[in-house]
Amino acid sequence: MNNKTNVTTTGADPRLAGGRLTIDLDALIANWQLLAEKSKPAETSAVVKADAYGLGIVHVVPALWQAGCRSFFVALAEEGLRVKAVAPDARVFVLNGFFEGAFPAYEQSDLIPVLGSPHEIELWERANSGRPEPLPFALNVDTGMNRLGLTVDEALAYAARPGAPAPVLLITHLATADDTAHALTAKQFESFQKLRAAFKGIQSSIANSPGVFHTLHTGFDLSRPGVAMYGGEPLSGVANPMRPVVTVKARIVQIRNGRKGETVGYGATATLERDTRIAICSVGYADGYLRSASGSGVPLRNTVAKGGEGFIAGQKVPVIGRVTMDLTSFDVTDLPEEAAKPGDFIELIGANIALDEAARAAGTIGYEMLTSLGNRYHRRYLYSGKRS
């Protein structure tokens, strides 16, 4: 979109910060709209747990609401309250169960718990016993993940129980949908279809980000994408159709000239094989640039030879030695001298180094990279839409 407005948080002063974190809300909305188109005729919600995957509920949710998203999923009731603070009319589901003593928060805020065990159902029914009309709830059924949720038999028994309050939503969670060849996904769809037959007339939801792209995702009422909205890969081994949302850049503090045979960083794990120009950048694992992205000196390098990379002056540059709490070193020897100097920025995630590329170099996934982003960056939110 044109005429983007820069919306800056109250985070670190750009003159003082060691790094910049730019969140393109227009790209996020475009991703949600693509997922919504793929989900039709189902409604498309948004998963905004973990502070909208580290990008900020207070900025992400109003933009999604303006784009037409009306249902949101969070992990905890506290997160749900933050969604309600910026989107009071939103329908907000809380995934991580219902805790004893939490009922007043649900009663006062219209949050909807996702119940996933007989114990939670009992707690919820007891809490609602004094009300003329029970508050709405959703049911989570485990169809093959062995995490949260009623067993299929427990859910069928609940559906057959005389007078049992009906949930407003029936959900399950796919365990392997990112792997299009995995047989478990088809088994989960099959089990869930049996459950839908037992809960006739109840809205149903099975598709997470990869599930939206699965051929079996038809006839359901609500999709609930997460990581794909934020630019992550929905499917393994398939070109990512999502637009990048996050750009992370780190400021160069100093350029050092190391000699062949010298070592770099903690543990002396990197020995220079040539005279080397080293860019020391103000970013480390305290900022979410994971130690496992180190160029050497971590167990991951025993199996995956290559560590993380930065991008500057049209070229990728490798991490040298260990990523530390506040500083990371990059080899900029192959760049012209004037191309990297103190005060310049090296891209760590963005248009030139995809989120999942950076994650794989650290032996992890895009989810962890996003949700690990620290609070020392200067954050900019790019958004051209009207706020609700």
Give the active site residues: 49, 266
Residue type, 42: A
Report in angstroms the alpha-carbon separations of 214 from 77, 225, 235, 241, 331: 30, 13, 9, 14, 42
CA distance 9 to 164: 47
Q: Would you state the pLDDT for residue 2?
A: 45
Q: What is the DSSP code string of 188-225? A: HHHHHHHHHHHTTTSEEE---HHHHTSTT--S-SEE--
Cis preceding-peptide flag for 41 (omega within 30 of 0): yes
Q: Would you state the pLDDT for residue 8?
A: 57
Would you say 346 and 281 are in contact if contact means Cβ atoms under 8 Å apart?
yes
CA angle 179, 185, 187 (to 5 degrees): 155
Q: Which of 95, 126, 90 shows the shortest CA–CA distance to 109?
A: 90
**Whole-model pTM?**
0.94
> For 96-133, what is each residue's pLDDT tens digit?
999 999 999 999 999 999 999 999 999 999 999 989 89
Residue 5 pLDDT > 80: no
Is position 256 annotated in a ligand binding site?
no
> For 340-363, what is each residue's pLDDT tens digit?
999 999 999 999 999 999 999 999
Domains with residue ranges and CATH for the chain: 24-230 (3.20.20.10), 246-353 (2.40.37.10)
Q: Would you state the pLDDT for residue 388?
A: 41
Q: Would you state the pLDDT for residue 302?
A: 87
Is position 70 annotated in a ligand binding site?
no
The mean pLDDT of the chain is 94
